[in-house]
Amino acid sequence: MELRPLGATGLQVSPLGLGTVKFGRNQGVKYPRPFELPSDREALDLLELAWDLGINLLDTAPAYGVSEERLGRLLRRCRRDWVIVTKVGEEFIDQEGHDGVSRFDFSAAATRASVERSLRRLGVETLDAVLIHSSGDDLAILEREDVLPTLLELQQAGWVRAVGLSGKTVAGGLRAVECCDLAMVTYNPRQREELPVIRAARAAGKGVLIKKGLLGGHLDRVTAADDADPVLAALRLIYAEPGASSVLVGTLNPAHLRANAAAVEQVCDEHRLATAEAPRQWL
């Protein structure tokens, strides 16, 4: 896959990223079918396959159960030039350290502790990107809590390369475009409300990561055409927007990962061809 700039962060990312929530959490999730967490061997094989397919972007979070911890351990056996996105603000653990109940904390102390822990877990000296994992009240989190100022301080100190918001509202996404390096937004054939955020980020030179691009496994027919491929239709919608840097998709199925990668390459090739031929239409 041809890498793309993630806004002005200096990071180059594949147009498809691998979400790793399924590496560490199978409780309290909204996937269509239950699943078991993969073994280390299965997860490592999936990471190797992702790299072989041209994927260099991984998405994790403390709210993904033991995903961060496992990912750090696995990447010591799969050393590549990965770009890793993690988050702060939400935890999902019980008293025994297992999956439990979501808790949000946007204080300066919790933010710093979360970043320090992510550095240790992932085994890196600098985190590529840290997003604020919103509870839904995006504007209040960005404007009234200490999480953003703290992340910006840690960025200045060299602990973090890029800062952003994984938000839930258009207003929050637009504010993130103003005060952060990137935004993670929901955008798919059934949820298009955050399109203004993608376009504002494009105009401002900020990065955009797409979550729920394939509706978290709930994608079905998205057009009226009998022969429509819903995955291709969703990806065509996403990549019609030049502001979309990458779409994050989580899977434990190697066949699904290969199919998603092939679909992304097909859509990106279509876009490149259309862009190359566009000037000829005016001759």
Active site (catalytic) residues: 64
Sign of CA dihedral 10, 250, 184, 239: positive
Rounded Cα distance between 9 and 6, Å, is 6
Task: Please state at what angle helix 67-75 crosses helix 40-52, rounded to 10 degrees.
Answer: 70
Sign of CA dihedral 138, 187, 90, 80: negative
Q: From 269, 203, 157, select the one nearest 7 (Cα to Cα).
A: 203
Which residues face 84 on adjacent strands? Answer: 58
Q: Contact at 8 Å (CB) between 133 and 61?
A: yes
In sequence order, what are the residues at sequence separation of 6 or more whose Cβ sits closer than 8 angstroms to the Cβ of residue 265?
A: 1, 54
3-state secondary structure 241-277: CCCCCEEEEECCCHHHHHHHHHHHHHHHHHHHHHHHH
Please list, residue by residue across 158-173, b when 16 or more beta carbons sit within 10 angstroms of its beta carbon and e when fewer do.
Answer: ebbbbbbbbbebbebb
